[in-house]
Every structure is written in structure tokens, then in C-alpha cells.
Chain A
């Protein structure tokens, strides 16, 4: 198996055990995850390529990952379409955004 510190994909784990495997570049949009995965930091997350996010439930983390991919996709675009957020999730997502620094 390849060295997890260099791997192209990382695994995000929610507090209720859902795992999401997404590209490292997308996950690093979040400042918190970027610092977690920084090889220089020698955190266990950086070594294993697996981040357990204790504050986020699977439902929220799914939406967060959707956002990561949305951001990755539209990074260099001029006209960015809006991303649909269900009303019942928007407050939790705001909290998650605060936690993830994104």
C-alpha cells in the first residue's frame, strides 16, 4: 500500500461511523483538515490519512463533502452556480463551517 501521507485520497469519518473517501485537495479546502493532514505536523491523522470528525454527524458530513467537491469543481470558474442546501441542515452546516474553518 502506498504511503498514506502522500496518498491522493483521504478518509473522513463522522461521529456515527460513516466514512467518506474524497480527494486530498478537496478536503484541504478546510483549514482544519489541512492542518490535520499536514505531514509536517506529525498528527496521527497525517500519518494515517484518516480524519475522525467527532462533531459532525454522517448527514452533515455528507453535505460537507458535497461542498468540498462543489468548491473543487468551481474553483477557477467565473460564474459559480449556487449550491442547494436543505433548510433543516443549514444551521448545522454553519456550525460545521465554523469548525472546519471553511
Chain B
């Protein structure tokens, strides 16, 4: 008789392995892995710099299988999603994708992510936070089914100036016609692969979606297709660099989901994060609308902005002040890096009103460790427009081959 506890091993191996794990491990020269959303994922394959430049110069491949995916289907799916998210889903056509956020009743962000419309009544919500209970509870009263399908789909982000060319080499002819945020279906040697022109890099790029059992097959074909153009797998460190340049937000760094905050005031509204453009006040009722209308009227008291900081030392976790004396605190840096492409010392930061207009000056308190000697620097920073890097090629259809 089989025991219900047979085969339970997660107490020894809590992290799942993605279907690409064996391939990734073989290529991981650093043996540098991190836990992400319950999976073992690669932090650095070779060097973060090389991987970063693959995305900006040729093609970088990132395993995004752990991204949490909910499949939402049914006659009431559109109504449900329009109630859930801040954008107008009725404008989302089949085979199109939007980036959106969704809020609790207080207008505070639960999560951000991409919403795919894959059929008349079929959507995918791809996001960072686990929130199955929230989705199921808020779906009550709608003619809709919500499934958690994370483990049922394998996915790779294929990003960079030669990404379109690489996918054509892979046999996905016609991919060049895919417009930004468009979804297409392709076949690679008989394997069904879905592609969306989406990504987290701010560059030309695609995300390709496939059955887990075909993952290694596609990985091998993809690496072969891009070999002469130096395709590279990239780890999360390189991804983090390109997403900061693109001005994209990272949950748990640039904001905390309202569902996970313990202390009052730590949650954020889309208006505070500068995501006003995602909030469609005209579409009718949606969750958090009332609070957001009130907030818009009142004006926000803090805002996520881009900073251009003097010098070249990244302002990790720096506190921000009104002036060099460092007496009046006005905010803090949430993400920071030296941008190798822009040659600017950039950061995303949360600042108090009224310091958030472009051109405003703030001072960052940066700590430098120079061979174990710590130095404190007050460095001038200017509020600037985001994104920091937005090349034309990301929008061109059809894209150039290189």
C-alpha cells in the first residue's frame, strides 16, 4: 500500500529546479545560484559584465520559468480582470500583452506584471508574488476559473539586438513581424513555441514559452542558432542591471507588495511609483479606484524617481538629503548602478514631495569601502527622466538583424 507521504522530499530540497536546470548548471562557471520564487536560478554564469553586454550587444538568454503564472479563463474573465487591474482590459486584443498593476481596496499595489490575452476568454497573468488566495477570493461572483500554472510552462527571455535574428535562425520565421507586446505561435522542429515581444531589459527582445518537457530541446537549438553571434545565458545580476537602465521596478527592492507589508505606510500606490499611465480612471470601477481618485486629488507625498548621481560610485541604499549638510532627509535610493552603456551613475529612488520634479537636486550619502577603509561621501544627484536607456531598436518592426 502506498503511503501518502511517500516521495515527499522538499524538506531536503526545498527549491524546485526549472526544466533548464541541467543545461544552466553545465554552463555555470561560477556555481553561483540564488533562490527565486521557489526555484534554484543562476545568479552569475561567467561574469555579470559579460552577461550584461550580451543583452546590450548580442543576445542574452534568461530562464524566467519561476515567474508566477496564473491562467484565467471563462466568460467572465474580462469583467474579472477589468475589476482586478488598473488598466482597461477591454482594449486588450487577443494575442496582445499589457504591463499593469493591481491594487487592494486602499489603492496600494499588490503586484505588477504582464497580462496576456491568449484567446477570447483566456488570459495569463505573469507576476512576482504568490497570490492565488487573493485571486480566487476576488474571483467569487465572476464566471471565471483561476489556475496556478507556473510549473506547467517553461519560459526563456531572449533579449538583445540580435535576438530577432537568432529566433529566425531557430526557425521561427515571421517573428520579425511581431510588434511590441504582440504574441505569436511558432513551431521549432515540430515543437509548439509561443513567443511574445516582451521583456524586462528595455531592449529588443522576446519571451518564448514552451512545454517543460521540450525545454532542453529548445535550449539546445537556441544556443546553436545564436552561437556565431555569441548568444549567452545570463544570470539575475545581469538582468538586474539592464532592468534598472530600463527603469523597470523590482518587487521587494523598489516597492513591497501591500499584501506583505507589516508596518503601516510601507505599501505604495501606482501614483507614488510614477505609474499613473497604468491607471485608467475612465474605464469604470476597479479595485482601489476610489482610493486612487482621492489620492490623485490630494497629490502624492512621495514619488519614485530616476536619479543621475555625480561620480561613478553606485549609491546602493543611500539616504537622500536636501543639501550637503545631510540634515534634512528627503528619501532613499531603492536601486542603483553605474550604467556601462549610458556612462551615468544612475539610481531609482523614493523621494518626498516636493523634490520630485525633473531637474531637482538632492544629495546622496554614499559609503565607500576602499580596501576595508570606509569613507562617507555626500554626492550631488539630479532628478532625471526615466528610462535611462531606451534604444530605438526596441520598437522597430521588423527589427534589424544586428
Chains A and B bind each other: no
